[in-house]
Amino acid sequence: MHSLTTSIVGTLLAASAVITAPLESRDSTWTPAQGGCWTDSVEDRALQQSMGVYDDLTPPKCQLLCQDAGFPLAGVESGRECFCGKAITGFNLPALDESCNMPCTGDNTQICGGTDTIYIYVKDNFPYTVGPPSPLSNYNGYSKTSCWRDSPSDRILKHEPDSPIPGDQMTVQKCIDGCAAAGYSSAGVELGRECYCDNHDWFFGYIANSTTIGIATPVMDVSWAERFTFEVPEGAASVTQAEITSYKTIDGFPFLGLIQGGANVDSDIAPGSYQYLYLGGTSHSAPGAIPQTGPNGYANNSVTWESSVWNINITTGDLTPQWINSDGSSPATYLIRHQGAFFFGTGDPDAFNSHFGEFDPTVKLRFNPNL
C-alpha cells in the first residue's frame, strides 16, 4: 500500500512589508509622485509600511524615516501619519490636489494628506510601479511555485547568494541571478529585501481521496490523502504502462488515469498543441491501448480516457505518465499544475500556457510507501 505525493522543482516567491534597513545617504531629492495626492484606505493601502503617528509630523520628517528604513517612497496622511513603500500598491489612483488638505501636526503651513488620501513623495526619481503587486511568474529558467511560511529558526531555503544583494536594491530577478550564480536551483525573496537559495524538490501535497468535478487535486493533510497500490514483477527495477489502483476508488472508478480535457477538439496531445488531459478516476484499459470511450471520473461517455499510463521507477518511487494518441503514437507527456490546484497532462506546457494562462512547471508524482 502506498501514498502518492507530488513535488516540483522551482523557485520560491514571497513578499511582505519590511521594517528596518540601514541609512545610506541623506543627500537625496524628494519630489511628488505623479502630482502627489493619491487615494488610500485602511483596507487598500497605497504604501504598505506604516511608520507610526506623530504629533510633530512634516513631509521631510516622514521622508527621512522612510529613507532611513530603505524605502524610496514616503507618504503623509491625515495630518499625522507616515507611510513608506517601494511601490504604490492596491487599486489606488491619483486624487485631486484639494483632496489632500490637512495641515501637518509639525507645521501647519504644510499639507500632510487628507482623509482617505495620502500625499506621496519619491526619492531620486526611483522607478516605482503602480497597482496590486504580483509575483513574477518566470525568469531565467526559474518558475513561480507558491507563497510559503518561513521562520528564521527553520528556513525553507538555507543559503544566501555568494555576492550579497543590498536590501534596498532587492528584486526577484537579482535574487534569482544571485542564486543561479551560486549553483542553486531554488530562489526565494522575503520581507521585500531578503534573498535565500537552496536546491529543492518542492512538495505540493498528496493526491486527495476526493475530487473536484472528477479532477484529482492536492491536499496538505495526509489524513485526506488517497492510498494507491500497483503491481511490481519480482526483482523489477521499474514498470511501464502500469495501472495504479485507488484504495477507495476515485469518484467510483478504480484507477488513477488520464482523461481527455473538456476543451479539447479530440483525444490527442502533441508539441504545439494546447490540448490537455485530466488526472482522475478511470476504468481499465490495456497497456498500449488507444483512448477508450465510456464512463469516467470527469464525464459520462463524452470524453476518452486511459488507465495504463504510468511508468514507475521502483527505487525512487517517481511516476511519469505516457498517453497514447488515437493513431497509436506515444507523445511526450508532461504533468503540470494549473491555477494552483488542478493537475493536468499535456504534450506542450508552453502551448497550454499560451492558451489557458499561468501554470507551474513540470510536476513529479512520487509514491511514498511509508504513509
Q: In the prediction, which pLDDT does 364 show?
A: 79
pLDDT bucket at 144, cuts 50 / 70 / 90: confident
The letter for the amino acid at 129 is T
pLDDT bucket at 349, cuts 50 / 70 / 90: confident
Closest CA to 144 of 176, 99, 103, 177: 176
Q: Are 309 and 227 in contact (CB under 8 A)?
A: no
Distance CA 46, CA 130 (A): 9
pLDDT at 290 over 90: yes
Q: Are 185 and 141 in contact (CB under 8 A)?
A: no
pLDDT at 12 over 60: no
pLDDT bucket at 24, cuts 50 / 70 / 90: very low
Output 333-337 pairs: Cβ under 8 A, ≥24 positions apart: 333/258, 333/269, 333/277, 333/309, 334/362, 335/279, 335/362, 335/363, 335/364, 335/365, 336/360, 336/361, 336/362, 336/363, 337/6, 337/8, 337/204, 337/218, 337/363
Q: In the prediction, which pLDDT does 356 show?
A: 82
Q: In the prediction, which pLDDT does 11 show?
A: 19
Burial 109-126 (b: 16+ CB within 10 A, else e): eebbbbeebbbbbbbeee
Q: In the prediction, which pLDDT does 7 show?
A: 31
Compute the C-alpha angle 170/175/179, nearest 5°.
155
Distance CA 31, CA 73 (A): 10
Over residues 148-181, the pLDDT tens digits come to: 777 888 787 899 999 999 987 888 999 999 999 9
Per DSSP, 290 falls in state P
In the numeric block, the cell 469516467 is attached to 296
Distance CA 176, CA 158 (A): 15
| 328 contacts: CB under 8 Å, gap ≥ 6 | 288, 290
Q: Average pLDDT over the chain, rounded to whole?
A: 83
How many other C-beta atoms lie within 10 A of the C-beta of residue 235? 6
Distance CA 298, CA 304 (A): 10
pLDDT bucket at 57, cuts 50 / 70 / 90: very high
Distance CA 254, CA 80 (A): 65
Q: What is the pTM of this model?
A: 0.53
Q: Is 320 helix (H, G, I), strand (E, B) or coil?
A: strand
Over residues 217-251, the pLDDT tens digits come to: 777 667 777 788 888 888 889 999 999 988 765 56
Cα dist. 242→7, 258, 314 in Å? 20, 12, 12
Closest CA to 320 of 306, 308, 305, 309: 309
pLDDT at 297 over 80: yes
Tell me which of 247 and 70 has the higher pLDDT. 70
Burial 33-66 (b: 16+ CB within 10 A, else e): beebbbbbeeeebbbbbebeebeebbbebbbbbb
